[in-house]
Chains A and B, each alone.
Chain A
Amino acid sequence: MTSREKILAAVQANQPDLTALPDLSGFDGQAFGSLAQFAEVLTAVGGKIFHVANYAAIIKIILAQYGSGVRIVTQLEELKKLTRDNLESLSQIHDLHDVEVAIIAARFGVAENGAVWITEEEMQHRVVPFIAQHLAVIIHEDAIVPTMHQAYDRIANTTYNFGTFIAGPSKTADIEQSLVIGAHGPRSMTVFVLKNS
């Protein structure tokens, strides 16, 4: 008997009678939902938020914050002038070790926790939003859902190889519960909320 068969047989023998799954439709997120709340929570978890009218405004803010001398990576056509990298033709992901800023489009944000949902498609390489010293994310102002329930309604059966919710900069409180921003991932997270044109 393989371990697989052993485990499955033991589970089958020991598990209790089938119980029903709960109905989740009551979690309608009515107490949550606004962009203002998203901004408030994101700020509380250490993120920064800018409401911008267009990509030109984003470029201006990025350059003002980080200058033009640092390595910036992005997949976004509209921001191509900020980067000298072509992530698609990168030979070795480890070459990303000195990226200062990564700018990535997110699918949507979640009001209750300030998180944004990003999949590998937007990242090009999975490590990008983690290895950069600073992360910038762009979402559309109408792409805010109230809670994680609506977040998964929105994700539904979409396909992705890798996807992640990111809520603020990397952080730790492992040393005496003192909050330190910038553990292993980005030291800052900026979210640009793009107004509908």
Chain B
Amino acid sequence: MPTNLSARLCTLVLSLVLIAFALPAFAGPFEDAVAKFANDDYSDTEEAIGAVASSGNKLAFPIINALQDGRLMADPDSKKVYVTGTDGKSIDAATGEAVASVPDSASAVRLNNRLRRSVDAALGSLTLQSPDLGARLQAAQSVFKSHEETALDPVESALAKETNRSAKTALGEARAAILLFKSDATEVQKLEAVATIKARGDQEALALLSDIGTDQPASVAKAATSAIGSIQNSLAVWSTVQNAWYGLSLGSVLLLAAIGLAITFGVMGVINMAHGEMVMIGAYTTFVVQEVIRTRYPALFDYSLLIAVPLAFLVAGAIGVLIERSIIRFLYGRPLETLLATWGLSLVLQQAVRTMFGPTNREVGNPSWMSGAFDLGQITITYNRLWILVFTLAVFMILLAMLRYTALGLEMRAVTQNRRMAASMGIATSRVDALTFGLGSGIAGIAGVALSQIDNVSPNLGQSYIIDSFMVVVFGGVGNLWGTLVGAFTLGISNKFLEPVAGAVLGKIAILVLIILFIQKRPRGLFALKGRAVEA
């Protein structure tokens, strides 16, 4: 941005803030600038942004804001530009007069990444004193990143008025960033700035400090170097924490995928190779639920997952019961045959879904509460991963409680431990078998709901998890839910600590080899069942 704009920009911001009523629009230059939006040329658009932002016109903020949201419409024929409000009403961008409708030939002014940065910078200075705290923080952040000298005065005046502590810190950091790059700032100011940025201590601070260039006074350069060193040290510690978090998160995904298998394989001894397809069915159930919500009840979108969870459980569970009654029950006691039959079943289910929903990926959206991330210290925690971890643990606990405290759980355990004795006691073992298999499949379906949030929803979804799930169950010890839990988190965390060292591919191979070796050492997994059941 040319330096002579600084004064104008400052005027603009002050005028926006101090003078609540409208100033008469500048006659020529502003309108010319606005007309440039209609040229559909990125450099013209960039000039227009600069000119409009510094024009001091009260329309500047709505125009730039609309530009960011794709609501600024330009008609290439008449060179007229319109702002469409969020309420659907439109105004002429040059005059501010309301218009009845935007002509059909008009289309939204296009942006590319360079322009988006200009828009951000312009909006940053325009919204530093917005009444909304979130907007102020964002503005401070974008000034911190762009650290244009022109933003210094607005930042300082905003800083003087700011009462909120976090916004104050953010503004202080933005001010420091500007001073650090301002060629005529004093050495003291710059040293203070380095200290402020050092205190921020994140990767963006690091980026800023690494970028200060060579024309700094020696003391500043030295302070910056030492600040970089200390930030890097603390980030190294944080990266260990981050790896642990990633490991937990990966572990929770593995656990969720494996937990249904721990029931069918671990408790019943049935090797269900179609387990992955139950996960897939859960994911497709989510897709169908979201589709219905999108077309019929768009307002419910944020609840789509809550609706999908019980539905997926029922759908996958019902299919599971059906499979058990029609195939698996004829194969009890023949685990290897079960393996082959269920593998065949998985092929059929995959191709069936491919035929019904098409071979391509289906879009499953993230509800707003599962989007985005927050910072905890210097690590970023994404909401979807966090929720999946919480959800997994909840499912695990409910399952555990169910096995321990309900009549069905009691019967399931009885049948597992001694089928004949249980039958003699009057337990309908075949009913329990069907319900157990249904339970395992239903939980796989629930897993599908969660996995649809982070992975493809495609017919191949299940296959990518099946081998990992078996590894988790076998590693943790068959027939022991706690073993599955420990197994999943051990594998997740060790994978994530191996990945930065060995790379993703080698890391995965290493884990597989380690599991193979581990099984040699403990053929029944981490937590082996003891007693006669082992030799059955």
**Chain A complexes with chain B:** no
A residues neighboring B (CB under 8 Å): none
Chain B interfacial positions (CB closer than 8 Å to A): none
